[in-house]
Amino acid sequence: MKNILSLIVMLLYGFSFGQNINGNVETENGNSISNVNVYIDGSKIATLSTADGSFSIDIQNQKNGTLVFQKDTYESKSIAINTLIGKKIKVVLNKFKEIDEIVLIPYTEEAYRTYIRYFLEEFLGFDQENVKIKNQRTLKFSYDKKNKILKVKAPKTLIIINKNLGYEIQYNLISFETDFNNHSVSYAGSSFFKEISQKNIVKENRMDAYSGSLMHFLRSVYQKNTAQEGFIVNHIVKIPNQNYPTEEELSRLDDYRKILKTNPTMKLPDDIMKISHRKNNEKPYLLALIKSKIGEEIYTKTLSGNVFIDFKDILQVNFKKYFYNIKKDKIVKSETSTNKSSYLYPEKDIFEVYPDGNCSNPTELLAQGYFSEQKIGKLLPLDYKMGD
């Protein structure tokens, strides 16, 4: 069986579907698959395939998004919408394969509590009273002890209830990986939103989540009004940190660590201890400010009406964030604010920016600082508008 899903696109001559995408979902043997979730990633737009596998979905002008086909026990399929306009499609889904585990963590309540706590903090955020995964026991954990890498897989769609933002999110977790050596976390997936509340407190929380977010920034980049929206963008470069150990010092440190495995009582020389201390407390690179308050023309380009982030270095994005309060049944901006700082690392890659605040290859656009703190607990649908 092939490891990837196959897609057969059939052109319909002489007929246009307008804003609808139509087609059929079936197995590789040609059997129809019913009740497949068909949705635009990150939106509230969705439908189900019928008993004969057919579907029709109104994309509502979302021409730059991704159409997702998802059903438990089958591998999901994601297709760029702009390749489907005016076509009828046949989507072939393969049965879900067993998850490849590096070293499966033996199931114990203690192990589950240890790893689920870490995962939830990195995936959902810290408010797990109001943001919960209903079926989190379906998660699978694997751990590579040698390289200190934790991976989490979800064989079933995660059902996330976010009381703060008033959404139920069906999240198809494709991958989650933590590299403890490099202190990095990355995850990827697709999401579908259902609205469960429209209370004022929910609207207030949504406005707070949106203000200064990566979605807010990318929408401002597309509109070329980042300064008017309150963002200050600076040009940053990496410079070597002279206090970080050299390659030769790191090699010596590694040699002594190998010796310690066979002779754990051996006392390390003072110079090796100092190298270890510098490695653990210093970073290989420091960040240096080249130019402050740069305009969009410095880090973007526009081709045929499409906007791209095209920048070889690092963008520091600062934002003076005001919070919102409810006064006399109205949501108003408070006078209190806090400064938020983020870093984006395009680093020679080019990313197309879409008007809804998304971008091409979003998992490849590395973010640090405030942008990276906005986990699933702060996630908003791509059709969100301020005040909704």
Q: What is the pLDDT of residues 294-328, one digit of tens each?
A: 999 999 999 999 999 999 999 999 999 999 888 88
Under a CB-based contact definition with an 8 Å cutoff, are residues 309 and 299 in contact?
Answer: yes
User: What is the rounded CA–CA span in Å between residue 114 and residue 116?
Assistant: 6
The predicted model gives 339-358 an average pLDDT of 91
Phi-psi sector, 329: left (phi>0), alpha (psi -120 to 50), beta: left
Q: 147-180: per-residue pLDDT in tens?
A: 888 888 888 899 999 999 999 999 999 888 888 8
**Quick count: other Cβ atoms within 10 Å of Cβ 59?**
19
**Bridging pattern class, strands 20-26 and 87-92:** parallel
Q: Are 236 and 288 in contact (CB under 8 A)?
A: yes
User: Is residue 222 within 8 Å of 307, Cβ to Cβ?
Assistant: yes
Which tokens hold the place of 317?
A: 């994005």
pLDDT band at 11, cuts 50/70/90?
very low
pTM of the model: 0.79
φ, ψ of residue 178 in degrees (nearest 5): -120, 125
Q: Which helix (H) or strand (E) holds 177?
A: strand 167-179
Q: What is the pLDDT of residues 201-236, one digit of tens each?
A: 999 999 999 999 999 999 999 999 999 999 999 999
Phi, psi of 301 (to 5 degrees): -140, 155
Q: Is the pLDDT of residue 249 over 80?
A: yes
